[in-house]
Structure 1
Amino acid sequence: MANPKLKERQIEIFRIVMATNSLTAAARHLGVSQPNLSIAIKRLEDQLGIALFGRIGGKLVPTQEAQLIFEEVERVHQQAEMLSDSIYSIARGNASTFRFGATPSIGMRLIPKALRRLQLAGAAGTYYCDSLPQRDIRDYLLFGRGTCVATIARIDDPVIETTAIAEAGLVCVMPADHRLAGRASISPAELSEETLISFGSTTTHGLYIDETYRRSGAVRNTAVYVHFVEAALSFVAERIGVTILDAFSAIDCATARMAAVPIANSVSVSAYVHTSRLRPRPTTVESLIMALRDVALRESNFTNGIIKPCNDP
């Protein structure tokens, strides 16, 4: 038999209990009695066939399963809020609203510079730039939550159209006064004695870095693991160690007293704009693509060709 569908009220109750970490506070927020709330939670547990909460030292403690469910509930809740904003925007007749997504590598440097170019060119309208993890890109496009996504992640899907923006290699980012900061390039083997701040092998950055290390025959020894580019750069700024990033993420790092040195024999990392083939591609996407390529061309002059714009359609 199919699993019975969860009711919206059940999910709301679970979310509030998780957020408040207290039956008393949750009951007050929901406007129900605590005994009725306890009954509702017990019914949800019976329906799912798992325990969601336990008590340790008199405190309500969510189980591991509850934590995982809560992550999914919050993700869907955020998407529902985005959808609500879009609907109200359309209802107000704001046809010039342009909503798009970006993953951190492109969103931190290239996107702000591209939007500045559009602004200087007189492009009017309201922009919504959503920061996305790679796993959400497909749903974001297929369900129409945004018009396009700028990212370094490849997407292999027949209903997603991909436009290449630029190519770049990997760079080692370090404090500006680091002993290697003046080098023209660095091999992975030369970083063996450094405290490496890096990414897991299943992440987009991790895959690119591991392939570059394989090319050189070196072994990657990561001392500090991070999930986000911003964290890696923050740790370098605090002189904890060095990190390896795509050159897009390292744009303007000198302003934070850091240096970016190219990794020798690096794999090529591409910046893309993905759109859905199921929907018309508005002119605003073309404008964004042109602006991103213009920025990449400008940065190519500053990075001695580490970043190269792609002009293919």
Structure 2
Amino acid sequence: MQHPKLKERQIEIFRTIMATNSMTAAARHLGVSQPNLSIAIKRLEDQLGIALFARISGRLVPTQEAELIFAEVERVNQQSEMLSELIYSIARGDASTFRFGSTPSLGVRLIPKALRRLQLEGTAGTYYSDSLSQRDVRDYLLFGQGACVATIAEVNDPVIETTKVASAGLVCVVPKDHRLAGKKTVTPLDIAHEPLISFGATTTHGLFIDETYRRWGVSRETAVYVHFVEAALSFVSEGIGITILDAFSAINCEAFGLVAIPVENSVSVSAYVHICQLRPRQKGVDSLIDALRDIANASIKNDAAQ
């Protein structure tokens, strides 16, 4: 049975209430009476078959379902704004704009270096570098929000073309004064008693790390869970613990007082650039691939030699 499509006004009302945390403030912002706003939310709740808000000690409190819906509404709204800006850019005749995305693993180190090279080459006049979560990559490409996406995860879609840029293993990142800092390699057994800053089991990094641990016959014990590599590196810098990342994320980490040690017998992690085959291939895509490939290979080779 197909559900009736939600109206834009319903989503606007819900989003405004979530943003203001008040029926009164939301009604004032939307230019409607509070009773009419309450009726609209009740109709939305009836349509969805769930409660969105509750009154607790006189306060309007969103339910867990409302929080999850709001997160998705904000994600789609952000994508809509990105698309709108891209349309205006085209309308202005700004043909020298190159927009691309990346997930955090490559966005921390490789993308800034590649963007610097693109600037020197004069690939475009204006650049938009979007940071994406893995789940947003497919829509970003299919809806033409950017020319390509660089990530360490594959995208299984028949209209998405994937180019492998480079491959590397996992590394253990520790402070430069850590007891392990002088080792050439480490194993999961070596760090078994260290506080590990790591990722959920279903994330891209979590899957790579757990597979490596299985090769050594041990289970991963995580002390601090994070979502992004930037957080993992920051926490290591603060001496909270150590972390395991793909080698791309840890390039030049010694500049921040950290040391990246290769993990023995780790899985191989590849860096990819994805494009949508349904759209014309921009010149900047191939320039970005070349820059990422050269920088990744040179940086990893240099780090291994140190």
Please state which band the TM-score falls in when normalised by the shorter chain.
Answer: over 0.9
Partner-residue secondary structure (3-state), 1:304: helix
Identity of aligned residues (%): 73
CA distances 1:284-304 after superposition (whole Å, capped 9, x unpaired): 100111111121232134212
TM-score by length of 1: 0.95
2:178 counterpart residue number: 178
CA distance in 1, matches of 2:269, 2:182: 23
1:244 counterpart residue number: 244
CA distance in 1, matches of 2:162, 2:305: 23
CA distances 1:17-57 after superposition (whole Å, capped 9, x unpaired): 00111111111111222122111111211222221111000
Which amino acid in the other structure matches residue 266 of structure 1?
S
1:71 counterpart residue number: 71
2:118 counterpart residue number: 118
Q: Is the 8 A contact 1:162 1:272 kept in 2?
A: yes
CA distance in 2, matches of 1:263, 1:301: 15
Partner-residue secondary structure (3-state), 1:127: strand
CA positional deviation for 1:123 = 2.7
CA distance in 1, matches of 2:225, 2:2: 41
1:234 counterpart residue number: 234
CA distances 1:230-261 after superposition (whole Å, capped 9, x unpaired): 11111111101000000110112111111111
Q: Is the 8 A contact 2:103 2:134 kept in 1?
A: yes
Which amino acid in the other structure matches residue 84 of structure 2?
S
CA positional deviation for 1:153 = 0.6
For residues 47-126 of structure 1, the aligned pairs below 5 Å read: 47-126=47-126
Which amino acid in the other structure matches residue 268 of structure 1?
S
CA positional deviation for 1:12 = 0.2
CA positional deviation for 1:122 = 2.7
CA distance in 2, matches of 1:121, 1:86: 23
CA positional deviation for 1:127 = 1.0
CA positional deviation for 1:305 = 6.6
CA distance in 2, matches of 1:183, 1:120: 37
Partner-residue secondary structure (3-state), 1:275: strand
CA distance in 2, matches of 1:218, 1:184: 21
CA positional deviation for 1:224 = 1.0
1:298 counterpart residue number: 298
Aligned length: 306
2:192 matched to 1:192? yes
For residues 120-135 of structure 1, the aligned pairs below 5 Å read: 120-135=120-135
* Structure 1 unaligned regions, length at least 5: 307-313
Partner-residue secondary structure (3-state), 1:274: strand
CA distance in 2, matches of 1:75, 1:256: 32
Aligned-residue RMSD, C-alpha: 1.3
Q: Is the 8 A contact 1:189 1:219 kept in 2?
A: no
TM-score by length of 2: 0.97
CA distance in 2, matches of 1:163, 1:100: 15
For residues 162-173 of structure 1, the aligned pairs below 5 Å read: 162-173=162-173
